[in-house]
A and B are shown apart, each in its own frame.
Chain A
Amino acid sequence: MSHLLREHAPITEGNWELLDSEARERLTPALAARQLVDFSGPHGWQHSATNLGRVKEIGDPPSKGVNAAQRQVLALVELRAPFAIDRSELADADRGAEDANLDALDEAAHAIAVAENAAVFHGWKAAGITGILEASPHDPIELGENCERYPRHVAKAVEALLAAGVAGPYGLALGPETYTRVLETSEHGGYPLLDHLREVVGGPLVWSPGVRGAAVLSLRGGDFLLEAGEDFSIGYEHHDADVVRLYLEESISFRVATPEAAVALT
C-alpha cells in the first residue's frame, strides 16, 4: 500500500476511476506551466530534493588541513489540496448516475493547478523557488487593454528574446483575464487575434490560471525545469458516515536555468 492509503477509503474501484478521471480532466487544461516548461519525473514520493550541482564552502572543519564544502540542493515542495465528497454522491455514481456532484474535487484541482502555475511563473520565496517572470532580466512590456496592439507587444518580446540569443519556438502564457480579452477579439477583417498571436510566437497560446498578465518564453528546452517527485495523485485522509475526505497531491521543485529566456508582459 502506498502512502496515499487509497485502499482504506470506502470507495469502490469504479468510483476511484471516476475521481481520477475527473481530476485528470480538470487539471490538464489548467496546468499551463507543464505545457511550456521542461518536465522531469515522476521520481517517486521518496525523492526529496533536486541536485543543483553546486557546493557551498563551510568553515571550521573537524580537522586541520581539510577543506569542506556542502552540496546545495533544492528541496521539493509538497502541494496538497484537500476536498470532501458526499458518500451519497459516490453511491449514486455506483448506481450509474452520470451527474455525481464532484464540485469539491474540481475546485481542489483548480486550486492546485493555480499554485503550480503561480510558483513557476511568479516564484515562491518560502519554498526557495524563483519564478520565470521574477528571474527575467528583460524590462516588462506593458500590454494594456487595447488588444489591437497586442501583436506588436508580443513581437517586441520575441525580438528581445532573439536579441538575447534565445531561439524559438516560443510560447505565450496568458493570465485568464488577458486570455479572455484575446479570445473575444477579432482584428480588422475578422482575423482572430488568437491566431495572429500564435503566428507571431510560433508556438502555443496557453490559458494560464495563476499567471498575472502574460509571458513569452522559449520552448527550445533546457531553460526552465519543473521536477516532480510524486506526480498528481489522489490520496485518502479519513471518512465519516456522510463524507469521504480526500486530497490531491504532488511534490515538485522548479528552477530557472536561463533567466533571459522569458519576457514578462504586464
Chain B
Amino acid sequence: MGFDQYHEPPEELPAQTRTFARLCTSLTEEAEAIGWYEQRMAVETDGEARAIMHDAQGEEFKHFCMDLEFLLRRTPLWREIAAGILFQEGDIVEHGEEAEEEATEDAAERGAPLSGGDSLGIGSLREVAS
C-alpha cells in the first residue's frame, strides 16, 4: 500500500494537513471513477449493465461532492472562490477570474487567513443545502 498522496515527508506534516491531503486524493479518485463510468457507459450496449453503471456513477457523484464539501469547509478561501463559480449562469472562466480576485482581495483586506491559519476551521455544520 502506498502513501503517495503525500508530497512531503508525512512525519513532518501536521495531522490537519495529512487529513486534507487524504481527502484531496479521495476527491481525485472519485473524479477518475466518474470519468471511467462515463467511458464504460458510452461503449456498453447491454442496457441492464448500463443501468448498473449509471447507478454506480451516481454513488461516485455523491462521494465527490462530500469530499469537496469537506475540503471547502476547511479552506475558507477555496470556499469563497467556489461560491463565485459553482451553480452560476454565464461565462465560467469570467466567473473564475472574478471570484479569485474578489476572494483574495477581500481576504487580504480583512486580514483573514488565505488557508489553514490558526482557526479550528469549523465553519458551517449544516448538512442540508440552503
Are the CB atoms of B122 and A27 closer together than 8 Å?
Answer: yes
**Residues of chain B within 8 A of A46, CB atoms compared:** 110-111
Are the CB atoms of B123 and A219 closer together than 8 Å?
Answer: no
Given A2-B117, A45-B111, is A28 in contact with B122 using a C-beta cutoff of 8 Å? yes
The residue from B14, B76, B119, B124 contacting A233, defined by CB atoms under 8 A apart:
B119
Report the bound CA distance from A44 to B117 in whole Å.
Answer: 11
Q: Which residue of B is nearest A235, CB measured?
A: B118
Q: Which residue of B is nearest A36, CB measured?
A: B126
**Residues of chain B within 8 A of A221, CB atoms compared:** 129-130
Are the CB atoms of B122 and A231 closer together than 8 Å?
Answer: yes
The residue from B110, B117, B127 contacting A47, defined by CB atoms under 8 A apart:
B110
**Residues of chain A within 8 A of B121, CB atoms compared:** 24, 231
Are the CB atoms of A20 and B128 closer together than 8 Å?
Answer: no
Which residues of A (1-53) have their CB < 8 Å from a CB of B? 2, 4, 6, 13, 17, 20-21, 23-24, 27-28, 31, 34-39, 41-47
Given A17-B16, A20-B16, A46-B110, is A34 in contact with B130 using a C-beta cutoff of 8 Å? no
How far is the CB of A4 from the nearest CB of chain B, in Å?
5
Tally of A-B Cβ pairs under 8 angstroms: 85
Given A31-B125, A35-B127, is A17 in contact with B14 using a C-beta cutoff of 8 Å? yes
Are the CB atoms of B128 and A219 closer together than 8 Å?
Answer: yes
Are the CB atoms of B14 and A34 closer together than 8 Å?
Answer: no
**Residues of chain A within 8 A of B111, CB atoms compared:** 44-46
A114 proximal to B (CB < 8 A): no
B112 proximal to A (CB < 8 A): yes
B107 proximal to A (CB < 8 A): yes
**Residues of chain A within 8 A of B125, CB atoms compared:** 28, 31, 34-35, 39
Given A44-B107, A47-B110, is A204 in contact with B124 using a C-beta cutoff of 8 Å? no
Chain A, residues 222-236, CB within 8 Å of chain B (1/0): the string is 100000101111110
B42 proximal to A (CB < 8 A): no
Given A17-B14, A44-B107, is A230 in contact with B119 using a C-beta cutoff of 8 Å? yes
Are the CB atoms of A43 and B112 closer together than 8 Å?
Answer: yes
Are the CB atoms of B120 and A24 closer together than 8 Å?
Answer: yes
A169 proximal to B (CB < 8 A): yes
The residue from A4, A39, A45, A235 contacting B123, defined by CB atoms under 8 A apart:
A39
The residue from B14, B118, B126 contacting A39, defined by CB atoms under 8 A apart:
B126
**Residues of chain B within 8 A of A222, CB atoms compared:** 130
**Residues of chain A within 8 A of B16, CB atoms compared:** 17, 20-21
A198 proximal to B (CB < 8 A): no
Given contacts A17-B14, A35-B127, A232-B120, 16 further A-B contacts (CB under 8 A): A20-B16, A21-B15, A24-B121, A34-B123, A34-B125, A38-B124, A39-B123, A39-B125, A44-B111, A203-B128, A219-B128, A221-B129, A228-B123, A233-B120, A234-B120, A235-B118
Q: Which 9 A-B pairs have the closest CB atoms?
A: A221-B130, A44-B112, A44-B110, A39-B124, A34-B125, A219-B128, A35-B125, A232-B120, A231-B119
Q: Provide 9 A-B residue pairs closer than 8 Å at the C-beta atoms, listed in order of the A residue.
A: A4-B118, A23-B120, A24-B121, A24-B122, A31-B125, A36-B126, A39-B124, A39-B126, A42-B76
By a beta-carbon cutoff of 8 Å, the part of chain A in contact with chain B is 2, 4, 6, 13, 17, 20-21, 23-24, 27-28, 31, 34-39, 41-47, 169, 171, 203-204, 219-222, 228, 230-235
